[in-house]
Amino acid sequence: MARILIVDRDPASRELLERALENEGLEVLSTADPEAAWEAFSAFSPLAAVLARRLPRGAAEDLAARMQDADPDLHILGVTEPLPEMARRLRIRLGAPAPRSLPSAPPVSRPGTAHVLGRPAIETGELGFAALADLLVRLWRSAADGVLAIEHPGGADLVFLLRGATVGVQVAGERHTADVSAALASLCASSARSYSFHPGSDFALEVRSAPVPALAPLLEGLRMAADEPSYAAALAEVQEEVPVRSGAFPVLSRDIALGQDDLRTVAGLDGHRPIRTLLSGPGRPASLLWFLLRAGALDLRPTETARPTPDR
């Protein structure tokens, strides 16, 4: 499936662009700023990049030059209206096949996987921004076994879970991917329509992958999907409150595989610093704090009731 990178600061217009491209059967990597776009480009090697008009001109030109230097064959284009026509022309230009209707769960030859997908789904729903990451965190915390089918116009991507941890990813129409972490991050960064979760571990002997930190790809995908100012804006209403580590924090933080800047942010979770202070730290503290709050690793308390600093 042809993979397309889009860069658009505005969530609403980004979603419209994603939908137009996916309706043409193209796989979309959705990012909100040039930094996240470069990370997605480096990790997933898209065939084309679509740069929105809202990007600062200098930043867009610098990003385009870096990507073109790294991959001279990369197609780089701007957004043109109408979006469906632009998406169709891009598909034809890339030589990608015309979209086709696929069954909800594509046929698989492996009997264990087919057996699990043949069971009635115990949960179904719609997926919006960050909803896939929320769902995977919940399945991980419940140590669920099963196959998560993620529906989109190109077919259904399958995520294989054992005791809540992702052990395999199968992109629609392809074999199991070797890089589970990168594939999961890409799914969390992309838009999707709906999902169904089918219980069971019959596929266990059919899926082979190296263990990965269960939650690290989710944070990576969310950082590709939106920029730090967007996450900071989402925290604006609670910026004077104090984040306090919950009982789930030790296990959750271990499986995020925190980098050096993230560890500095975590070190600031001392029970008396408000969100506003933590957001001024190095790295990307806004997305980390937003994710930890969503995942239940942090609780919020008003400043006056937070734990005081011990006397020395």
CA atoms of 258 and 260, how far apart (whole Å): 7
pLDDT digits (tens, 9 = 90+) for 119-178: 999 999 988 778 889 999 999 989 999 999 998 766 788 999 998 989 888 877 666 677
Q: Based on the structure, what is the number of domains in the chain?
A: 3
Q: What is the pLDDT of residue 182?
A: 83
Spell out, as residue ranges, where the chain has pLDDT lower than 50.
101-109, 306, 309-312
pLDDT at 149: 93
Dist. CA 290–CA 312, nearest whole Å: 32
Task: Residue 210: count other Cβ atoms within 10 Å of its Cβ.
Answer: 9
235 and 291: one domain?
yes
pLDDT of 154 reads: 65
Q: Full-prediction pTM beyond 0.85? A: no
CATH of the domain at 74: 3.40.50.2300
Question: How do residues 219-241 score in pLDDT, each as one tens digit?
Answer: 988 888 788 888 999 999 999 99
**Domain of residue 47, residue span:** 3-94
Q: What angle, rounded to 10 degrees, do the helices at 216-225 and 285-295 form?
A: 120
Residue 310 lies in a domain: no
Any domain includes 30: yes
For the CA atoms of the chain, what is the radius of gyration?
A: 20
Please tell me the predicted confidence (pLDDT) of residue 265. Answer: 94
Last residue of a domain, one of 217, 237, 267: 217
Query: Is there a single domain that holds both residue 167 and residue 136?
Result: yes
pLDDT of residue 28: 86
> Residue 104 domain-assigned?
no
Residue 99 domain flag: no
Query: Does any domain span residue 242?
Result: yes
Which of 217, 242, 262 marks a domain boundary? 217
> Is 312 part of a structural domain of the chain?
no
